[in-house]
Structure 1
Amino acid sequence: MNGRDPDRRKALLDAADRAILREGPHVSMAAIAAEAGITKPILYRHFGDKSGLYQALADRHVRRVIAQLRPEFVRTRTDPRGRARAAVEVYLDLISANQNLYRFLFHRASAEDTGVRSHMTALVRGLGEELGAVLAAEQVVPDAVRAQILGHAFVGMVQTTGDWWLEHPEVGREQVVEGLVEVIVAAFISNTVG
């Protein structure tokens, strides 16, 4: 954005959010610009190009998800089941409440732009690394390498299962939560006794 007004940038991202939520993941850039009361070239000028807008939206929303998940990672150390349940529920609630935005970021933007795909992958990978570090630091998984493997596995599993669940509304949220929690807790148990 190079020296542009941060309040204006926020207003443009807010307009993009409204357009995506209203029109869905296939919203046009023209619709986003119209929602902001500007033209597409002006919209692109604020973000460099379409990729810059996608990355700004990804930063905004993926970092919000991470900020809401982070407290669940460090929640009561003595209750791995409760911790896993809380984190899974937070994630599923966030994506189900913002399905158009989720699909825009993880499907459309990532498919259209390799830079966005790499950026999203790096953000998700960072979450896996953070979870692995917590598991190792708290001795939930005593071996640091195994903790990293499990941290990434849990993040990937929850993300892809959540993606699947959005396409299968006939499956109850509680059933998805329980299935994920059972796998996570089983992994914790096998890594503390094995």
Structure 2
Amino acid sequence: MNEGPVKPKGSRGRSARWAEHRVQRREELIEAAMDAIREHGAGVSIATIAAQAGVTKPVLYRHFTDRADLQRAVSDKAAQLLLSKLLPQLGVERAPTERIRSIVEAFLAGAEEEPELWRFVVHNPGGEAASDVVAHNISLVAGLLTATLVDELRARNMDAGGAEAWAYGLAGMVYTAGDWWLQRRTMSRAALTDYLTSLIWGGLVGVLGERPADKPESDEPPLRLVAGEDQKG
């Protein structure tokens, strides 16, 4: 039975090396794009990105079909950077409130350390590209919060069925609050971390129906939503 011409082994090897080279080259171009964004800001042009990479625009477009494709690739890399900051928080034994605080802090630190990269992937027009990275980053935070919620609920023999839904709601809050803060900077990162942690923990306490033993009522003052007497006038 004739199965058609068989490619020489040397040809298959060259094809594999070429495919590997293209993958490596694409990664190099993504890194160059990220460097250009950091240096020139979120509104950087494709021409500037190409120049940063030491190639022409036509060469750049051999590896990316259009700006949206490049934006998706940068978004994926940015999500990997964020994940590298969030995942270590899972392996550290902490009280639940401190675990939540560490997750919020790591997320906000990632945004603060790469503000132009954040703006590029979140605020630049890019159709599905921007939506994809928002959804992906929210899912990262939600996954970590889900683990904390499930642990707390199961420890009290309570139904953990709503944990993931609650976690996604909380993650969306952290994400949008972080985005607001990055644009406004009306408070410190530490202050925002405290506010969000208090709000998340307060919600968890409400679900549990009691104040957990590792969080005595006297540990922290209640969250103030208005200025105290000492701040008036």
TM-score interval, normalised by the smaller of the two chains: 0.7 to 0.9
Structure 1 CA distance for aligned equivalents of residues 66 and 112 of structure 2: 29
Say if 2:128 is the partner of 1:115: yes
Aligned-residue offset at 1:42: 1.4
User: Is 1:33 matched up with 2:22?
Assistant: no
Which structure: larger Rg?
2
Q: CA deviation at 1:66?
A: 2.2
User: 2:151 is aligned with what amino acid?
Assistant: E
Shift in alpha-carbon separation, 1:145–1:96, aligned structure 2, 3 A:
same
Q: Is the 8 A contact 1:25 1:103 kept in 2?
A: yes
Alignment correspondent of 2:112 = 96
Quick one: percent identity of the two aligned structures? Answer: 32
Distance 1:120 1:22 in 2: 21
Letter of the structure 2 residue corresponding to residue 71 of structure 1: P
Q: CA deviation at 1:138?
A: 2.1
Normalised to the residue count of structure 1, the TM-score between the two structures is 0.86
The CA deviation at 1:81 is 1.6
Q: Which amino acid aligns with 1:116?
A: A
Matched residue SS, 1:45: coil
- Cα distance in 2 between the residues matched to 1:88 and 1:136: 14
The equivalent of 1:186 in structure 2 is 202
| One-letter identity of the residue aligned with 1:152 | Y
**How far apart, in 1, do the equivalents of 2:174 and 2:100 lie?**
10
- Distance in 2 (CA, whole Å) between partners of 1:175 and 1:136 is 23
Change (3 A) 1:139 1:82: closer
1:165 lines up with 2:178 in the alignment: no
Q: Give structure 2 stretches of 5+ with no counterpart.
A: 1-17, 211-233
Counterpart among 127, 130, 146 of residue 140 in structure 2 = 127
User: What is the distance in 1 between the residues matched to 2:186 and 2:139?
Assistant: 32
1-side partners of 2:198 and 2:162: how far apart? 19
Q: Which one-letter code corresponds to 1:87 in the other structure?
A: I
Shifted more, 32-41 versus 141-150: the winner is 141-150
Query: 1:64 and 2:77 equivalent?
Result: no
Contact 1:136 1:143 in 2 (8 A): no
**1:74 deviation in Å?**
5.1
Alpha-carbon contact 1:131-1:152 (below 8 Å) kept: no
**Please, what TM-score do these two structures have when normalized by structure 2?**
0.73
- Larger relative helix fraction: 1
Q: Is the 8 A contact 2:96 2:152 kept in 1?
A: no
Question: CA RMSD of the aligned region, Å?
Answer: 2.2
Gaps of 5+ in 1: none
Instruction: Give, in whole Å, the separation in 1 of the partners of 2:71 and 2:137.
Output: 16
Name which of 118, 121, 128 aligns with 1:105: 121
* Structure 1 Cα separation of the partners of residues 171 and 80 of structure 2: 14
